[in-house]
Amino acid sequence: MQTKVVMLGTGNPRPEPDRSGPATAIVVGDTPYLIDFGPGVVRRISAAFEKGVTALGYGGVNIRTAFLTHLHSDHTVGYPDLVFTPWVMGRHEPLEVYGPAGIAAMTDHVLKAWQVDVDARTSGLNQHNQTGCRVNAHEIAPGVVYRDSKVTVTAFPAHHEEMADSFSYRFDTPDRSIVISGDTAPTQNLIENSRGCDLLIHEAYSMMAYRNTERPTREFRHRHHTSSEQLAEIANEVKPGTLVTYHRSSVGEDGSNLREDVLTEEIRRAYRGRVVAANDLDIF
């Protein structure tokens, strides 16, 4: 049973036209699992479908299980899209969502905000089903949060400053082990849960950009995220099969993006393993 990882969105809060918000799909055989749902998530799912990842279903109709790292808007703005668009496209099963405290309240508000739409689609001429727009929200604690015949998902605490209830995830499938950091400063939890994994997908910011940025942005990055130098240290201890960077921050002093390979070069100064800077729709 083959496992694929599809980088649906690799961006950050900056609205870059070539990067959707954070979203990653892990496809085990013919079953997809989604992590985070940033802006543009369903359009990227459709793009991946057209690229050959048909297990996702066009418009995300096959996405039935999703996980959230934390409640920041750049990771959640695509939530209504994830709930309603696959339903409109034909999903019948409720969506199962696992995430930190607050996901249940967010879910209730999303469903209430689109209640007029649901009523119209279920009672109007289209006669959409009444189940595919439902969501079962599960607020999780550290440990194994999900298991089926294809995957075991373990959540462990991330450190994202005031977002106290934030998680990283490890996915163990029959043929691969995958860790997704979410937004986090370095933690021992991540190191302990990532040792020897096949794929470590980790956020990072460039030290060149960091040094060229004035406070308080510099302090914010340091307390919320992981630098290229810190990530190299983590990778040297964890020794993943492949290190993949996403949710990258490489913004220079003038607000423009630095050269795409700057952050990767910074990591490679101290880490000799395989490093890949992910772009939207890359498959690993």
pLDDT tens, position by position, 112-161: 999 999 999 999 777 899 999 999 999 999 999 999 999 999 999 998 77
Would you mind telling me the total number of residues written for the chain in this entry? 284
Residues 196 and 236 sit within 8 Å (Cβ to Cβ): no
In this prediction, residue 41 carries a pLDDT of 97
Between 124 and 3, the more confident residue is: 3
Is 284 within a domain? no
Is 108 within a domain? yes
**Domain extent at residue 271:** 3-277
Burial of 125 (0-12, 13-18, 19+ CB in 10 A): exposed
pLDDT (mean) for 206-219:
61
Is 83 within a domain? yes
Query: Average pLDDT, whole number, for the chain?
Result: 90
Using left for φ > 0, alpha for ψ between -120 and 50, and beta otherwise, residue 40 falls in: left
pLDDT at 171 over 90: yes
pLDDT-derived band of residue 253, with 50, 70 and 90 as boundaries?
very low
Between 99 and 264, the more confident residue is: 99
* 90-103 pLDDT per residue, tens: 999 999 999 999 99
Q: CATH no. for residue 245?
A: 3.60.15.10
Is 282 within a domain? no
Is 16 within a domain? yes
Is 283 within a domain? no
Give me the number of domains the chain comprises: 1
pTM for this predicted structure? 0.92
Tokens 């994202």 -> residue: 160
Is 159 within a domain? yes
